[in-house]
């Protein structure tokens, strides 16, 4: 058994867990609600956000030692997606429901306070 973590997964792990601030159960519940569905968040097939959200749920349930290179790609995709949204917030910021819902679909709730550094 290979206990070695792929280098790319190791690098992506910290950024991913810094930005994804919802638990796997919270995200799964969110993805199953009407609020994250087509009315609040129209399907955009080219982004595959719903599928990406499901992958985030799976990743949040994994141990670091079980990560694969494919997992690293997904984590990097999530980090890029969240950072792009955070770098260009709408004028009303987290008060913009659509923008917040887009972020929550991949596990980042912009209204959740950042954890304090101890």
Give every CB contact of residue 5 below 8 A, 6+ residues apart in sequence.
13, 64, 65, 67
Q: Tell me, yes or no, whether 10 lies in a domain.
A: no
Q: Tell me, yes or no, whether 86 lies in a domain.
A: yes
User: In which domain, by residue range, is 72 found?
Assistant: 20-105
Give how many domains the chain has, as a whole number. Answer: 1
pLDDT of 2 reads 47
> Region 89-93: what's the mean pLDDT?
90
Least reliable range by pLDDT among 54-58, 99-103, 114-118: 114-118
Distances (CA, A) of 35 to 84, 96, 104: 22, 14, 10
**Separation between Cα atoms, residue 103 and residue 26, nearest integer Å:** 13
Q: Tell me, yes or no, whether 13 lies in a domain.
A: no
DSSP code, position 35? G
Q: Tell me, yes or no, whether 28 lies in a domain.
A: yes
Helix/strand/coil for 96? coil
Higher local confidence (pLDDT), 56 or 93: 56
Full-model pTM? 0.80
């Amino acid at each position: 058994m290979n206990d070695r973590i792929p280098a790319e997964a190791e690098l992506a792990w910290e950024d991913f867990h810094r930005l994804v601030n919802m638990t796997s159960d919270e995200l799964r519940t969110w993805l199953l609600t009407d609020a994250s569905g087509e009315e609040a968040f129209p399907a955009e097939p080219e982004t595959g956000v719903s599928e990406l959200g499901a992958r985030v749920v799976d990743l949040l349930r994994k141990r670091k030692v079980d990560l694969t290179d494919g997992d690293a790609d997904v984590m990097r995709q999530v980090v890029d997606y969240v950072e792009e949204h955070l770098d260009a917030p709408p004028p009303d910021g987290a008060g913009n429901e659509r923008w917040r819902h887009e972020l929550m679909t991949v596990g980042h709730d912009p209204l959740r306070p950042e954890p304090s550094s101890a």
